Amino acid sequence: MNAHPSNKPVEAIAAERTAKLFEPVQIGGLPVKNRVVMSPMTRTMAPAGVPGEANAEYYRKRAAGGAGLIITEGTWVPHDAAANEVDVPRMYGVEALGGWKKVVDAVHAEGTPILAQLWHVGQMKQHTVDGLYEAKGADYRPPRRVGPSGLFGGIGKPTTLDGAPALPADLDSIVEAYGKAAINAKMIGFDGVELHAAHGYLLDQFFWPGTNKREDKWGGPLQNRARLAADAIADIRRMTGPDFAISLRISQWKVQDFKAKNFNTPEELEEFSRIMVDAGVDVFHCSTRRFWDTEFGSDQNLAAWTKKLSGKPTITVGSIGMTGEHIDTLMGEGSNVASLDNLLLLADRGDFDLIAVGRGMLVNPDWANKVREGRIDQLNNWNPEVLKGLI
């Protein structure tokens, strides 16, 4: 056992320093053994939308590695316009649900709860390169897209008109699809669900005035722009009962606009969070590109503000334990292990209740155990090969 100059074992020093991260926490009726969450990370590695043995082992390793809570990669809800990638897993269909049952059982065998993230991309297109559609053949048709106002924007590109606004019948069917997906998740043993309402995907497209130009009951005032998500949450709560955990992932930034803001004042965020809490949300998963980015001219991030204004627990996420921001990383830039000093300071201050680790846990399935045991020097730097399933 290694010793510190203070004569305390290194493991004891690490345990004291990171103690806050390894306290138990409650999310609604769901007890969580520590505050470290596996962040949802899309890898498009479920062939034809069906998770297999490799997916079960992938999640099991992160549970065994000390994560207190697993949140799955985004899973398609059963709506014909939800998906834009064929190998992202589905939360519907006999084969897909059978595969997810194996994932849930493997994670639960490690004593860890797991939430299914429910996803609908809305107006977002496939991630395309020149010639992709042509390469798929003359009969290929891109997936149908549904959004609030027919507006689409790519990474760093302004929104442009690319379709018609969703009809009320579309929106009713989308609410129903979220409910069906949640029931499927509960039926096969998930402990709850998370609605992906961030980053410029469907629910966020309704929140953000940059993509929501509607003048009906789904547009205009914040209460209207929040309606689709609130209706989906309320439907899930009604059908799953009070003890099934519901998380809502939100963000200010969008892939269409990194500087976008849904909430320009604390009052707007408070109004939004109240709507969502009333609908049935148990925890807010607050995504920032860098967890230390702050809001409203303060020294607190989105998770800290949301916790204070909603009265609910929050999860902070964004470049935790990594030097580079995740989109820059995916575009080819490097990213190495970073200090946790600032994170631990904010956690001890009580700014948020849980932390979600993404790339760090992709390359270190035992990230939580290494941090708790003071084995920071054993953490691996980012390696993009993990996205190919090779490590």
Known catalytic residues are 201
Helices (H) and strands (E) in the chain, counts: 14, 12
Q: What percentage of the chain's residues is helix, strand, coil (to nearest 5)?
A: 35, 15, 45
**Do residues 318 and 230 lie in contact, with contact meaning Cβ atoms separated by under 8 Å?**
no
Spell out the residues 6+ positions from residue 348 whose beta carbon is closer than 8 angstroms to its own: 20
CA distance 11 to 4: 9
Cα 68 to Cα 272, 338, 391: the distances in Å are: 28, 21, 22
Strand partners, 270: none
Q: Can you say whether the dihedral through the CA atoms of 59, 63, 380, 324 is positive or negative? A: positive
Helix (H) or strand (E) holding 233: helix 227-240
In degrees and rounded to multiples of 5, residue 151 shows phi and psi of -100, 135
Query: Are the C-beta atoms of 312 and 273 separated by less than 8 Å?
Result: yes
Max Cα separation, the chain?
A: 71
User: For the packed helices 302-310 and 266-279, what is the interaxial angle rounded to 10 degrees?
Assistant: 60
